[in-house]
């Protein structure tokens, strides 16, 4: 077999085994897939194979960000009137959005994200970017995209496409399928960034959500639900939505958190996955950001302190939880990229720091479990023979300090080195150094 690269001596977090391989070797084939992986003594390296010595380092699957908006930027999220909001949406320039999306996608890749799911845009610009990256015309992560979300007139992120009845929902799903989307995004509740929407109640009925699910599944597409209110979460789970985004459990009083075990039962029954799509805001890292907490920050934190323990209950019942950053919504002071497209590591840290996940479970939520939720597990998400060689190499051990994920030494996509120490490696400039 023609081996493109052998990486030797690294601790390997495969994602398939409960414990890592302490000193392993991985062989990457010329086709960009993993040819072999295991303890170094069990994986002989061909004499003519280019070899990278990674002694003392950690190798793991590339990260999967389950929730981003790569065409958007901070101008959308400043406080302004509903009229201004719609005007800005309608007047957004698609050419500028495409350039912005390419930049953000590459920033995510340099940060270790080899696959991302774009959960809503103003139009179908992201599909062009997705296809260009897949064709090798542009360096970037693998992209799944939904194009325009399906929302009600005057609903969350509404612009000029209101979808208000079960029949209109079916027509919208078919229209999106015809445009070549990878999944359908359904806005089931209001949202905090859209003035005038109701964040405490569902904006669709059970019949309407079921219409979306039935027609999308008939066409081979998943349906992803924006659902932050408790009733919208329950309704989405009962309707058989594929993944629920945010899952914030906001009660009828918007400043309360109301969890619901019946909704969890529906999740288990219908195999509904939950995306812990949370913005890594500075108030969650006060020792680093130096930022104090506002009254709003304290409110959000009080609600999160109820949600996080409930995540463990959900997982114990059999609900899969994975990770998203909601990038384009969240700043991190002092970074070159305002919206947070290099903050996937911090989103994972939140699970460890606040939600009391083990480092291994948090890593799995951003790799194996995310791949399963996105139906990509036959291709990515674990380090196994036959899978695509989407990998990140770290200088430190994230099982000892999860912050090691912030600083990937190397990022590989389809077996090719695409980033080194936060900088992209352009095609034709592959580094063949024998040490990392």
Does residue 435 fall inside a structural domain?
A: no
Length of the chain in terms of residues written:
436
10 Å CB burial of residue 256 (0-12, 13-18, 19+) is middle
12 & 154 share domain: no
Q: Is residue 148 part of a domain?
A: yes
What tokens were used for 140? 């970037």
Q: Based on the domain organization, do 147 and 232 belong to the same domain? A: yes
Say if 436 falls within a structural domain.
Answer: no
Q: What is the pLDDT of residue 90?
A: 52
Residues 49 and 151 grouped into a single domain: no
**7, HSE (Cβ side, Cα atoms, 13 Å):** 30
Structural domain boundaries enclosing 168: 63-373
Same domain, 140 and 196: yes
Q: What is the pLDDT along the chain (436 residues), one digit of tens a residue?
A: 799 999 999 999 999 999 999 999 999 999 999 999 999 999 999 999 999 999 999 999 999 999 999 988 755 544 344 455 555 555 567 888 898 899 999 999 999 999 999 999 989 999 999 999 999 999 999 999 999 999 999 898 887 789 999 999 999 999 999 999 999 999 999 988 788 899 999 999 999 999 999 999 999 999 999 999 999 999 999 999 999 999 999 999 998 999 999 999 999 999 999 999 988 888 888 877 666 788 888 888 999 999 999 999 999 999 999 999 998 866 544 444 445 678 899 999 999 999 999 999 999 999 999 999 999 999 999 999 999 999 999 999 999 999 999 999 999 999 999 999 999 998 877 655 556 7
Task: Kindly state whether residue 430 falls inside one of the protein's structural domains.
Answer: no
Q: Are residues 68 and 50 in the same domain?
A: no
Nearest to 152 by CA among 219, 209, 200: 209
Is residue 330 located within the same domain as residue 393? no
* Tally of structural domains, the chain: 2
Please name which of 3, 48, 47 lies closest in space to residue 26, comparing C-alpha atoms: 3
Beta carbons of 87 and 426 less than 8 angstroms apart: no
Which CATH number goes with the domain that contains 157? 3.20.20.140
Confidence (pLDDT) at 330: 60
Can you give the pTM of this predicted structure? 0.94
The answer to whether 174 and 129 are in contact (CB under 8 A) is no
The predicted structure's pLDDT at residue 77: 47
Number of other CB atoms surrounding residue 39 within 10 Å: 12
Q: What confidence score (pLDDT) does residue 434 get?
A: 55
Whether 433 maps to a domain, the answer reads no
Q: Are residues 270 and 316 in the same domain?
A: yes
In-domain check, residue 162: yes
- Say yes or no: 290 and 347 in one domain: yes
Residue 282: its H or E element = none
Shared-domain flag, residues 51 and 69? no
Please give the Cα distance from 226 to 156 (Å, whole number).
9
Return left, alpha or beta for 376; rule: phi > 0 is left, psi -120 to 50 is alpha, else beta. Answer: alpha
Same domain membership, residue 74 and residue 55? no
CATH code for the domain of 399: 2.30.40.10
Answer yes or no: do 78 and 220 share one domain: yes
Residue 88 has a pLDDT of: 58
> Residues with Cβ < 8 Å from 320, sequence gap 6 or more?
273, 274, 369, 372, 373
> Does 33 reside within a domain?
yes
Same domain (yes/no): 420, 334: no
The radius of gyration computed from the CA coordinates of the chain, to the nearest angstrom, equals 21
pLDDT at residue number 275: 98
Instruction: Decide if 131 is inside a domain.
Output: yes
CB-facing half-sphere around the CA of 354: CA atoms within 13 A: 24
């Amino acid at each position: 077999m023609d081996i493109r690269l052998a990486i030797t001596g690294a601790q390997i977090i495969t994602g398939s085994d409960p414990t890592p391989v302490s000193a392993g070797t991985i062989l990457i084939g010329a086709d960009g897939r993993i040819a072999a992986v295991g303890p170094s003594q069990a994986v002989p390296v061909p004499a003519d194979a280019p070899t990278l010595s990674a002694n003392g380092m950690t190798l793991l699957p590339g990260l999967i960000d389950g929730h981003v908006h790569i065409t958007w930027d901070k101008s959308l999220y400043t406080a302004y009137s509903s009229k201004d909001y719609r005007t800005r949406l309608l007047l957004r320039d698609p050419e500028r959005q495409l350039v912005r999306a390419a930049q953000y996608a590459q920033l995510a890749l340099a940060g270790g994200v080899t696959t991302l799911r774009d959960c809503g845009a103003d139009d179908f610009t992201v599909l062009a970017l997705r296809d260009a990256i897949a064709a090798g015309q542009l360096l970037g992560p693998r992209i799944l995209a939904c194009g325009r979300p399906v929302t009600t007139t005057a609903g969350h992120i509404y612009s000029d496409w209101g979808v208000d009845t079960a029949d209109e929902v079916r027509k919208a799903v078919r229209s999106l399928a015809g445009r070549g989307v990878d999944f359908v995004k359904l806005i089931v509740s209001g949202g905090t960034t859209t003035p005038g929407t109701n964040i405490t109640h569902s904006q669709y009925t059970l019949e309407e959500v079921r219409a979306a699910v039935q027609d999308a599944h008939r066409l081979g597409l998943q349906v992803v639900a924006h659902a932050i209110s408790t009733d919208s979460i329950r309704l989405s789970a009962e309707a058989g939505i594929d993944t629920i985004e945010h899952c914030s459990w906001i009660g009828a009083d918007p400043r309360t958190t109301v969890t619901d075990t019946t909704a969890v039962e529906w999740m288990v029954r219908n195999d509904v996955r939950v995306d812990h799509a949370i913005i890594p805001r500075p108030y969650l890292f006060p020792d680093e950001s130096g930022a104090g907490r506002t009254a709003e920050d304290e409110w959000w934190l009080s609600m999160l302190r109820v949600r996080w323990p409930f995540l463990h209950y959900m997982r114990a019942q059999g609900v899969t939880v994975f990770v998203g950053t909601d990038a384009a919504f969240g700043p991190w002071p002092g970074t070159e990229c305002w919206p947070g497209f290099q903050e996937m590591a911090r989103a994972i840290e939140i699970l460890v720091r606040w939600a009391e996940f083990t480092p291994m479970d948090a890593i799995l939520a951003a790799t194996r479990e995310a791949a399963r939720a996105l139906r990509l597990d036959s291709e990515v998400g674990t380090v196994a023979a036959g899978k695509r060689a989407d990998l990140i190499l770290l200088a430190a051990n994230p099982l000892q300090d999860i912050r090691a994920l912030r600083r990937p030494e190397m990022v590989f996509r389809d077996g090719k080195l695409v980033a080194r120490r936060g900088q992209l490696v352009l095609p034709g400039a592959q580094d063949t150094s024998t040490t990392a």
